[in-house]
Amino acid sequence: MATLLNASWALVDGEAADTVPLGDRGLHFGDGLFESIRVERGQALLWHLHAARLARGCEVLGMEFPADRLLERELAEVCQGAPEVAMVKLLLTRGDGRGYAVPAGGRVRRIWLLYPLRDDPEARAEGVAVRECRLRLSLQPRLAGIKHLNRIEQILARGEVEPPFREGLCFDQRERLVEATSANVFLVRDEMLVTPRLDACGIAGVMRARVMNVARELGMPVSETEVDHAALASADELLLTNSLIGIWPVRQLGTQARVVGPVCRRLQAACGFAP
Amino acid sequence: MATLLNASWALVDGEAADTVPLGDRGLHFGDGLFESIRVERGQALLWHLHAARLARGCEVLGMEFPADRLLERELAEVCQGAPEVAMVKLLLTRGDGRGYAVPAGGRVRRIWLLYPLRDDPEARAEGVAVRECRLRLSLQPRLAGIKHLNRIEQILARGEVEPPFREGLCFDQRERLVEATSANVFLVRDEMLVTPRLDACGIAGVMRARVMNVARELGMPVSETEVDHAALASADELLLTNSLIGIWPVRQLGTQARVVGPVCRRLQAACGFAP
């Protein structure tokens, strides 16, 4: 399956496949949603949180959410024969259809892809260098939080990230920090865990939700709020999270060295991503 | 080719096909561009304007623009055997690739689809009813004007349009009129032709460009400017334009009857879309 670019297995509406029909609305308009799921020893991690975000995305887009059991059955099929650590990507598109108007009786298409995933223990242990992107994310409260297929802004922002940087931090047009190009961001300030509020743009990551819950279990105060440039610059610690990497500390922001601190280590240990 | 939903012919990278590889970045991220081209008696109309917009879109997205001659050869192939009036849709995606980072040495994929097109002489002659959409378009100057594949906003806006309405007018988050869901908008005010400036969002249509040029040839003053609710409400005439429909007058805005006027008729005649 050379066309899948390293995907070792794929399933489209329940059938093994390596293509999608040309009329697919995901292709034509980005009319759909996706999830990137970490798989360890054949088990999908945090599936319930991925499924909940998909369900919310379907509601926002007015798409039918496939039956939970159907998705779980297909997920199990895709995970069969997965290597020790893998990534499963699920795309839900609004099926086939011409024009912006949603076709009556259209059927959501389920596209599963299985990819190998390489862990990066050094990034987890030592932290990564990140920079601020120049691109400003647009504001669209109607789509905030969901993981839809319109991702050109992330591609443009990612294009600003070159080694030694591993990620780019994105601000919105009000100069509020939103997220990294493919991760959420946490700040630690006076032992409080702070993450940008995602009511106007950004993706509400499943690892973001997990980290907030675990922090509360550990008795840490947690705040979703507006984060401006000054708050970012003065944070005690910075962390990046997503469902594939877990938690990465930030050891450098632009040219400035940052401390990899105790809150990061506690959260990594409690979330099962200890370096 | 049932999967193409009425498409009677399709070409992917020069080969007849009805599917696209599952790794396509258009599918995963909406990472690409498109054009909808009117074809009459086997001839593509305004191709040079479509090609120019594609070239600009490629520049904005950092994609390689395929050789003009290659596109023209494929266009001619797709147009062969087209019915009297048809639509050719061209998608340029950034080929295959996993993750937001643009793959080095990636190849742009060319996807051509031929669809039958039904003209609507009544809409052209009598005009259409339109409404204002509630959805507010987000502002993203980096992407303004180009016809990229991230179209969820247009799908949401189109979902607000039900009969008797044929189109919906979209404002941006500053309450400026931008466009209709799949057409540009012109206002006539004191015999001046006015159309929203598209420096923060919206698609700069090829028929919009053609109409502005023709109006100037006819000696009409033309202005690209900010259009607010008051300007819309007080316009002498309202027109919708795109490359498939040509020019449609607006005969009703919400519950308010509007005049189909002489400027519309002059422009329809001069652009070759007389009712």
**pLDDT greater than 60 at residue B1:** no
Q: Does B67 touch chain A (CB under 8 A)?
A: no
CATH number at residue B108: 3.30.470.10
Residues A134 and A264 in one domain: yes
Please identify among residues 143-162 of chain B the ones whose CB lies closer than 8 Å to any CB of chain A. Answer: 143, 148-159, 161
| Alpha helices for B31-183 (secondary structure H) | 47-61, 68-79, 121-126, 152-158
pLDDT tens digits for B118-133? 999 999 999 999 999 9
Q: Are residues B56 and B111 in the same domain?
A: yes
The tokens 């080719």 sit on which residue?
B1
Residue B45 and residue B13 share a domain: yes
Number of domains in chain B: 2
Domain boundary among A66, A94, A118: A118
Least confident of A6-10, B98-102, B212-216: A6-10
Under 8 Å between Cβ of A244 and A197: no
pLDDT in tens, A120-145: 999 999 999 999 999 999 999 999 99
CA distance B45 to B39: 6
> What pLDDT score was predicted for residue B273?
78
Cβ-Cβ contacts under 8 Å, A142 against chain B: 135, 153, 156
B154-198: pLDDT as tens digits? 999 999 999 999 999 999 999 999 999 999 999 999 999 999 999
Which domain CATH number covers A242?
3.20.10.10
Same domain, B29 and B155: no
The average pLDDT across B104-127 equals 94
Question: Among A24, A93, A115, A138, which would you mutate to test the B interface (most chain B Cβ atoms within 10 Å of its Cβ)?
Answer: A138
User: Are B138 and A135 inside 8 Å of each other by CB?
Assistant: no
User: Over 90: is that where the pLDDT of B2 sits?
Assistant: no
The helix (run of H) or strand (run of E) holding residue B232 is helix B229-233
Q: Taking residues A87-96, report their average pLDDT.
A: 97
The residue-averaged pLDDT of B70-95 equals: 95
Q: Which of A66, A88, A118 is the last residue of a domain?
A: A118
A205 CB-near residues (< 8 Å, 6+ apart): A179, A183, A184, A241, A242, A243
At A1 the pLDDT is: 39
Interface of A with B in 169-228 (CB under 8 A): 173, 181-182
Say yes or no: A54 and A167 in one domain: no
**Boundary of a domain, candidates A64, A90, A118:** A118
For the packed helices A262-271 and A206-217, what is the interaxial angle rounded to 10 degrees? 100
Closest-CA residue of A relative to B12 is A22
In percent, the amount of chain B with pLDDT more than 90 equals: 92
pLDDT of residue A7: 66
- Interchain contact, A151 vs B182, CB within 8 Å: no
Residue scoring higher pLDDT (A272 or A13): A13
Mean pLDDT of chain A: 95
How far apart CA A40 and CA A46 sit, in angstroms, is 11
Q: Once rounded to an integer, what is the mean pLDDT over residues B78-95? A: 94
pLDDT digits (tens, 9 = 90+) for A184-217: 999 999 999 999 999 999 999 999 999 999 999 9
Same domain, B199 and B98: no
**CB distance B158–A101 less than 8 Å?**
yes
pLDDT for A105 equals 83
Q: Residue A106 has what pLDDT?
A: 81
User: Does the predicted TM-score (pTM) go above 0.90?
Assistant: yes
Q: Are residues A32 and A133 in the same domain?
A: no
pLDDT of residue A157: 98
Let me know the angle formed at the C-alpha of A32 by B23 and A108, rounded to the nearest 5 degrees: 95
Same domain, B105 and B153: no
Residue A262 sits in the same domain as residue A142: yes
Distance from C-alpha of B241 to C-alpha of B53, rounded to nearest angstrom: 16
pLDDT surpassing 60 at residue A5: no
Whether B85 contacts chain A with CB within 8 A: no
Q: For position A35, what pLDDT does the model report?
A: 98
Question: Over pLDDT 70: what percentage of chain A?
Answer: 97
Tell me: pLDDT of B4 over 80.
no
Residues B106 and B217 in one domain: no
Strand partners of residue B224? B195
Please check whether residue A139 touches B, CB under 8 A.
yes
Shared-domain flag, residues A258 and A126: yes
Place of tokens 């009556």: A104
Quick: pLDDT tens for A24-40.
999 999 999 999 999 99
Q: Quick one: pLDDT band at residue B7, thresholds 50, 70, 90?
A: low
Q: What is the mean pLDDT of chain B?
A: 95
Residues of chain B contacting residue A27, judged by C-beta atoms under 8 Å apart: 20, 24, 26-27, 91, 93, 111, 149
What is the span of the domain harbouring residue A43?
2-118
Report the residue of chain B nearest A18, measured CA to CA. B22
Burial state string for A98-135 with b = 16 or more CB within 10 A and e = fewer than 16: bbbebeeebebbbbbbbbebeeeeebbeebbbbbbbeb
Q: Does one domain contain both A141 and A166?
A: yes
Q: Identity (one letter) of the amino acid at B206?
A: V
Which pair of structure tokens corresponds to residue A133? 């992107």
